[in-house]
Amino acid sequence: MRRFVAGLIVCSFSVVYAQLTQYNDRPSWLTAVGSVDVLEDFEGFGVDTEFRTGPVALTIGTIQQTGEDLAFRNEVDTPPLVFTDNGGTSHASCFVNFPEGASPGTQVLITFDQPIRAFGVQLYGVAGAELTVFDVMEGIGTVTPVAQDTFLGFTSTTPVTSVLIRAQTLIAGGTGEGFGADDMEIAFAGAQIPTLGQWGLIAFLTIMAGAGFFVMRRNRLA
């Protein structure tokens, strides 16, 4: 009985903490986050730097292409810029492609130096072809851009270590989705403190465990 209730307590934490909230404008995201710990604006790059064949270090962690290498984009693009889907400054020029046939597709993986509770990025030209989805790793969920040029952010009550950007839909022939990403911001995860509701649940389950133990002990003595 006590093991069962202890399991319920652990499960209750897992369920309550797995909350992902998407934001489509930076002011609302900032209000929810409170403060940003690190910003990557790509201005520290003096030359074009591709991340197709391996990870490239950022102020927030690393960025790298995964899956099939189509030798297209997936680099930090510095002026003079190659494409127009950007804010006119150095940025991550990205490309993702939906899996097709034997091809695993192409994705972009962002891995953080330490667990985070919030992530935000300014996107350009992100909804023109196969569209994109941001998989928030640890199996937490996904967030999806709502427009071509848009801010996309999220907060998570479960610490996040990486985000995988992938194509959302298949357009036959390897069309893929090219887009610009700039001003990546993160807030580090802190200690998880149970809410008032969680404390109530813990107290209830603890009482159940005590009652179950009392009944078991009484039955043994009878």
The torsion angle over the Cα atoms of residues 35, 41, 45 and 47, rounded to 10 degrees, is 170
- Which positions of the chain have pLDDT values less than 50? 4-6, 8-17, 193-195
Q: Summarize pLDDT for 132-178 with one digit per residue, the tens.
A: 999 999 899 999 999 999 999 999 999 999 999 999 999 988 689 99
The torsion angle over the Cα atoms of residues 177, 89, 62 and 56, rounded to 10 degrees, is 90
CA distance 187 to 61: 12
CA angle 207, 209, 215 (to 5 degrees): 100
DSSP states of 54-97: S-EE-SSEEEEEEE---SSS-EEE-SSPS-SSS-SSSEEEEEEB
- CATH of segment(s) 20-188: 2.60.120
pLDDT at 128: 83
Contact 202, 140 (CB under 8 A): no
10 class by beta-carbon count within 10 Å (0-12 exposed, 13-18 middle, 19+ buried):
exposed
CA distance 90 to 81: 8
H-type alpha helices, the chain: 2-17, 26-33, 196-221
pLDDT at 11: 45
pLDDT at 172: 87
pTM: 0.79
pLDDT at 68: 93
pLDDT at 135: 98
CA distance 45 to 13: 42
